[in-house]
Structure 1
Amino acid sequence: MTKTTATFPMILAATLGAALPALAAEELNLYSARHYDTDERLYSDFTKATGITINRIEGKADELVTRMKAEGANSPADILITVDTSRLKRAKDAGVLQSVDSELLEAAVPANLQDSDNQWFGVSQRARIIFYDKAAVANPPATYADLADPAYKGMVCIRSSSNTYNQTLLASIVEHEGKEAAKAWAQGVVDNMARAPQGGDTDQLRGIVSGECAIAVSNTYYFARAIRTDVDGVSADIERIGWVFPDQDGNGAHVNLSGAGIAKHAPNRDNAVKFMEYLVSEQAQSYFADGNDEYPVVAGFKGNAAVQKLGVFKADEVDLSAVATKLPVALEIFNQVGWE
């Protein structure tokens, strides 16, 4: 896939700037599985810049995809925005998205963070990394593989196998190492668990503070949020928690996405394209990072102070479109090893 990154700022300026007169008093129907109050500014700024009114329906990703499929050609949906590659794949497989031919999106979003058929594009990203109790762990895991090392038996807290972040992480290991190696890793992690999987990523961090876990796996933005705001059970003792970006001498740290795609039967397709292109603008990319402690997908934009405190890291550049094809294998492995 050919990229023309150098032309991206000029393309963006021309696209948004020229659109204003033609798009006044028009609308966009957004089906969103992102439930962050901080996204309100994102939407209001788009309306202010273009005159396009956003009508938003919120729900869980699978519910929204099911709704779009049931609505068929009569669906009012123009855009689906959701979290994680696994959900974006399910939307594509359900046939509710369409390909987008946009020079701007092609130039802005790295090839590994977009669908091979251009049916979805990443708009923000989070790294899934290792956290540990500084007082209890002298030599923390340096790689994902280390999480399965018997030296850490009874120390690891991680979410359930139904969690999409874990599904995509395991699918990435399948893509890199093959099914048998991924299965051995998953079995090792199960053997090292300090407790049965429970709660969300913040609960894994709370487990370190409570002493129930010495090691936890979480997305970066949960920890950055605890640095920036008061998160119960984490922030007061946050200096106790250390972190490791895994595999810095290898593939790099796994990232997962928030992503968006245009609905197959979008009644306002031109406006939908404008919105997709707005999501990779400097304004929107900066707001993703500042508002929800995420990393931009477009090179050159930095996160807020809390995100920057985590440090610079090498990200895994595996093609997430290819990783998505390994999700059924990942689910099979989870069942085989008894990962609840």
Structure 2
Amino acid sequence: MTLNFSQRCTPAAGTRRLVAKTLAALTLATGVTSPALAADEVNIYSYRQPFLIQPMLDQFTKDTGIKTNIVFAQDGVAERLKREGKNSPADLVLTVDIARLQELVDAGLTQPVDSDVLEENIPAQYRGGNDEWFGLTLRTRNIYASKERVEDTDLSYEDLAKPEWKGKICARSGKHPYNIALIASMIAHHGEEETETWLKGVKNNLAQKPQGGDRDQIRAVAEGVCDLAIGNSYYYGAMVADPEQRGFAEKVNVVFPNQGDRGAHVNVSGVVLTKSAPNKAEAVKLMEFLTSEEAQEMYANMNVEFPVNKAVEGSGLLKEWAGFKADKLPLDEISKHREAAVKLVDKVDFDS
């Protein structure tokens, strides 16, 4: 069951009864059933678009009889949870990057989960050291390279700042969470001063003002606007599966950077258990299911995202890309530098 309404809708401020009344009013406005506050259900606030995870949720309900309800929001989930306080109906929050996971933890909106299943299914690198966030899928920050104009694809992130790529690089906004995480990883490896120099170099090499999303970067390379671009591999997979966009994807190579040294930067989609989760036991069962081989296979085959569970290989492009070297730096360490990364983007005026 999915609710899709504006973050500006005012959530309950006082009692559980007010929460129910607010959700009932939203039901009338949207024409769908509101998330119940009873047992045998899990209520989810999601940064991820529901259609990307609905098949897994449907399978969970089929396997367990536990219903799931989703509220989708593009931003503002942390603020919403703060306003709702202990009366929030949310059990879980699904996010698309480490920054938003850490934001929820830092705000004191989550609680740790002690689960042998999660510990077994998720490598330590992709779960919080305090057991308050857990990765569900992996996404690498890749370089898209023109098949026609780039012969040497043994590239590193550091190479993007070299003068030879002057006017040949495309990127989306430096402030996008995916790029902030990459810049934070550069700070973790090289320090702020060296990363600032690198970021200035990348900016000087841009073929156009940062714009669009990751798919737009693939298209820009295919159309000759630039020779290299930065983006996540699963966007390439989505374009290959789309007859209208496949032609653009077929004109680029997906490069996994830094294979000769530290490895490619890896981010996660992930989940947290809210501090006030009214259906904690059911929510933990869903967390465990989402890391199971059954759900991880579905994630991999549907969304072209790397499974976090190492027992699952994936197929198609994921199998073709298997074996790449990933940066082993824990995401907890990278997330410590995200504020510094945001400041650097502003300092070098990357998006101008």
One fold, TM greater than 0.5?
yes
Structure 1 unaligned blocks of 5 or more: 1-23
| 1:209-229 CA-partner distances (Å, limit 9, x unpaired) | 111111111100001112233
* Aligned residue runs from structure 1 range 49-60, under 5 A: 49-60=63-74
Work out whether residues 39 and 279 of structure 2, in 8 Å CA contact, stay in contact via their aligned partners in 1: no
1:289 maps to 2:304: no
Count of aligned residue pairs for this structure pair: 314
Provide the residue aligned with 2:57 in structure 1.
43
Any idea what SS the aligned residue of 2:57 has? helix
1:30 maps to 2:44: yes
Deviation of 1:95 after TM superposition, in Å, equals: 1.6
1:86 maps to 2:63: no
Aligned residues with identical type, % of pairs: 39
Q: Distance in 2 between matches of 1:303 and 1:184?
A: 38
| 1:113-171 CA-partner distances (Å, limit 9, x unpaired) | 11121111000011111111121223346100001111101000011122100000000
Provide the residue aligned with 1:224 in structure 2.
237
Work out whether residues 219 and 249 of structure 2, in 8 Å CA contact, stay in contact via their aligned partners in 1: no
Any idea what SS the aligned residue of 1:95 has? coil
Counterparts in 2 of 1:80 and 1:196: CA distance versus 1, 3 Å: same
Provide the residue aligned with 1:18 in structure 2.
none
Deviation beyond 3 Å, 4+ runs, structure 1: none
Work out whether residues 141 and 147 of structure 1, in 8 Å CA contact, stay in contact via their aligned partners in 2: no
Provide the residue aligned with 1:215 in structure 2.
228
Deviation of 1:36 after TM superposition, in Å, equals: 4.8
Work out whether residues 251 and 317 of structure 1, in 8 Å CA contact, stay in contact via their aligned partners in 2: yes
Q: Distance in 1 between matches of 2:76 and 2:340?
A: 23
Task: Give the residue type in structure 2 aligned to 1:44.
Answer: D
Q: Distance in 2 between matches of 1:238 and 1:113?
A: 29
Provide the residue aligned with 2:281 in structure 1.
270
Task: Give the residue type in structure 2 aligned to 1:128.
Answer: R
| 1:23-56 CA-partner distances (Å, limit 9, x unpaired) | x971111111111524211001101111111111
Provide the residue aligned with 1:15 in structure 2.
none
Provide the residue aligned with 2:263 in structure 1.
252
1:176 maps to 2:179: no
| 1:44-76 CA-partner distances (Å, limit 9, x unpaired) | 11011111111111112x322211111000001
* Aligned residue runs from structure 1 range 1-340, under 5 A: 26-60=40-74, 62-140=75-153, 142-232=155-245, 235-340=246-351
Work out whether residues 39 and 291 of structure 1, in 8 Å CA contact, stay in contact via their aligned partners in 2: no
Q: Distance in 1 between matches of 2:322 and 2:201?
A: 29
| 1:182-209 CA-partner distances (Å, limit 9, x unpaired) | 1111111001101010000000001011
Choose between structure 1 and 2: higher helix proportion: 1
Work out whether residues 130 and 141 of structure 1, in 8 Å CA contact, stay in contact via their aligned partners in 2: no
Work out whether residues 228 and 306 of structure 1, in 8 Å CA contact, stay in contact via their aligned partners in 2: no
Counterparts in 2 of 1:25 and 1:74: CA distance versus 1, 3 Å: closer
Work out whether residues 293 and 311 of structure 2, in 8 Å CA contact, stay in contact via their aligned partners in 1: no
Task: Give the residue type in structure 2 aligned to 1:215.
Answer: L
Q: Distance in 2 between matches of 1:96 and 1:270?
A: 18
Q: Distance in 1 between matches of 2:322 and 2:287?
A: 29
Provide the residue aligned with 2:20 in structure 1.
none
Task: Give the residue type in structure 2 aligned to 1:106.
Answer: E
TM-score (norm 2): 0.86
